Amino acid sequence: MAKAKTIFFCSNCGASAPKWLGKCPQCGEWNTYQEELIQKETTGEERRKSWAAPGKSEGPRAILLKQIETGTTIRLATPDEELNRVLGGGIVPGSLVLIGGQPGIGKSTLLLQVAMQLPAKILYVSGEESEEQIKMRADRIGIFKSECYILTETNSSKMLSMAQDLQPQLLIVDSIQTLSSPHIESTPGSISQVRECAGELLRFAKETNIPVFLIGHINKEGEIAGPKLLEHIVDCVLQFEGDRHNTYRILRTLKNRFGSTDEMGIYQMQSAGLREVSNPSELLLSQKDEELSGSAVAATMEGMRPMLIEAQALVSKAVFGTPQRSATGFDMRRLSMLLAVLEKRCGYFFSINDVFLNIAGGIRVDDPAIDLSIVAALISSLLDVSIPSNICFAGEVGLSGEIRAVNRVEQRIQEADRLGFKAIYVSKYGMKGVDPGRFGIRVMTLGKVEELKNLLFT
């Protein structure tokens, strides 16, 4: 009988140590080590033998890279265009995809929807909900187009043998935290269990060429082993995020071995499941009739897709000593930087004011091209002068107040034109090789933030 042994794992990065450590030497996090029971299976000697004397004829063989034949991989395109985009053009056979997100964000709904609408044979394994609960959810979502089997099981071996018998075209597992492997003694959701089950699923996917979708919860305390630990194992990590009080949900790629990580998919949670938002600009611009001060529209890019988003700023007299700074959907430090540029270069003083910044639609924007619209919104609110609603901006603001060029400026201009904007303000440095006369929209070029002041606020 092998001896039971315990090992300490870091719940953040998965590093292991024979004793408890306060600080993880690998990732530097504090208080993340947890004890886990593992079954010691083989001795060092047995392991050494396993590779020291291989049979000449059997065993794996290395092949020359140039001799490997690539059949054109046919991706399984889902009816969900947003998901296809995020995956890089459909599901790759034999891939293991992890979808992470906070509880209640809509992960189960998203995958059940795929399971119902992809015209193929699908096995949906749930360790979280009963068959009736899943059926009730399916009834809310609506039409069945697939041959979808439901299995409620938490034992990974039983689940995989069922999948082996059924030979589905897609296996969905909800969730990795509820699975447990009979080969390991620790409780479901523990780090070694999560790692073992993910390993088994990876082997299954690679051996059978059946793609596997895996749901993983993340929680703020980091108690349950989250997708961080699994990121190395899986081929693709998607994150489903959004504000629970808002109906928009965003599916982002954090890692993708088969495509770009810049893409994102946008959904709206409705009473009958998630609806794809294929034209986000129209929704992300807040709907209002009158022009108010403090709002400016930015022509941003998310991956390959241009998107017009509204930045809203509110600058008001601070009531208490220290003025407040608050930003939703935008980096706070970048906001402080932009405020400093405005003070130093344009003579607008915000130090006695509270500044609130909000990106409409509950979306987080990383594209630096949004800077110019934020600067415009801040000045507009400070002076209480509105910006015409048919104007938009695309430019990065540098520390000396210069407006820097942004990528794909043509696509941004085109999108603004298509949505009926009359003018777009861009950096004068980014217009090389672009003919502004070819667009219906007026293209205004700027070199410095000060010029914005003269053009819009005098």
Measured distance CA(381)–CA(293) in Å, rounded: 5
Q: Which does 137 bind (CB under 5 to 8 A by kind): Mg ion, ligand TYD, none?
A: ligand TYD
Rank residues 195 and 217 by Cβ distance to ligand TYD and give the closer one: 217
Position 103 contacts ligand TYD (CB under 6 A): yes
Residue corresponding to tokens 């079954």:
39
In the bound complex, what is the minimum distance in angstroms from residue 285's beta carbon to ligand TYD? Answer: 24
Residues touching ligand TYD: how many (CB under 6 A)? Answer: 15
| Residue 127 CA neighbour count, 13 Å, CB half | 22
Measured distance CA(428)–CA(146) in Å, rounded: 53
Q: How far is CA 104 from CA 210, 217, 249, 280, 410, in A?
A: 28, 10, 11, 23, 39
CB 219 within 8 A of CB 83: no
Rank residues 134 and 379 by Cβ distance to ligand TYD and give the closer one: 134
Position 108 contacts Mg ion (CB under 5 A): yes
DSSP letter assigned to residue 355: E
In the bound complex, what is the minimum distance in angstroms from residue 113's beta carbon to ligand TYD? Answer: 8
Measured distance CA(391)–CA(299) in Å, rounded: 10
Site string for ligand TYD, 116-145 (x = CB under 6 A): ---------------------x--xx----
Site string for ligand TYD, 270-289 (x = CB under 6 A): -xxx----------------
Contact region with ligand TYD (CB under 6 A), list: 44-52, 106-114, 316-324, 438-446: 106-114
Sign of CA dihedral 130, 134, 135, 140: positive
Contact region with ligand TYD (CB under 6 A), list: 55-63, 102-110, 322-330, 395-403: 102-110
Short-list 277, 259, 202, CA closest to 85: 259
Of the candidates 109, 126, 177, 358, which one interacts with ligand TYD according to CB under 6 A? Answer: 109
Residue 238, classified by CB atoms within 10 Å of its CB into exposed (0-12), middle (13-18) or buried (19+), is buried
Rank residues 242 and 361 by Cβ distance to ligand TYD and give the closer one: 242
> Which residues contact ligand TYD (rule: CB under 6 A)?
101, 103-109, 137, 140-141, 269, 271-273
What is the contact surface with Mg ion in residues (CB under 5 A)?
108
